[in-house]
Amino acid sequence: MFVEPYQLRLMTEADVPSVMNIEKTAYPFPWTEGNLRDCLKRHYYACVLEVGANICGYALMSMAAGEAHVLNICIQPDLQGKGLGRTLLHSLEQTARENKVEMLLLEVRASNKRAIKLYESLGFNELGCREHYYPGRNGREDALVLARQLSYCGHNTTFGNGPIL
């Protein structure tokens, strides 16, 4: 677990260059600066995770019609595996619940076993597969579609193969 103090806050236009540095470091096929700016213009939920004065992670999520879609979530590579991604996901879930979202959805590369393990540990279940969804070095890669049913009224529900917390 990460022990240094960190802060979560809303992403601003001024954060885009720092977020892009992480994006380019973490992904072989990064989002563009235009993608990030479009999310901010559309008022999607966008937050950054800071340690000291340095942004070390970020998350973007759209919400509509009782559903939230995690668009992007990333921790700078040298800090991955320390619980910061889990922290960002908890923030997204809390925001979704506050906005009366019932279902949290995301796509993940089928090869990203580390992320899949994290999502499953947080109650996400596989809904299906989007074939050839992500660009890859040798063609395209499939995405698994994962979902988590949320209960914002204080009751637990089930979805897919297991209980939802």
CA atoms of 109 and 127, how far apart (whole Å): 14
**Local structure of residue 113 (DSSP, 8 states):** H
- Of 50, 67, 107, 126, the catalytic one is 107
List of residues 6+ apart from 6 with CB closer than 8 A: 49, 50, 51, 56, 84, 87
Active-site annotation holds for 119 = yes
- Of 23, 119, 134, 141, the catalytic one is 119
17: nearest Cα among 55, 51, 53: 55
Locus of tokens 């922290």: 87
Q: Please state, in angstroms and as integers, the Cα–Cα distance from residue 11 to each residue in 50, 54, 139, 143, 163, following that order.
A: 11, 13, 33, 26, 32
CA atoms of 130 and 102, how far apart (whole Å): 22
Catalytic residue set = 107, 119
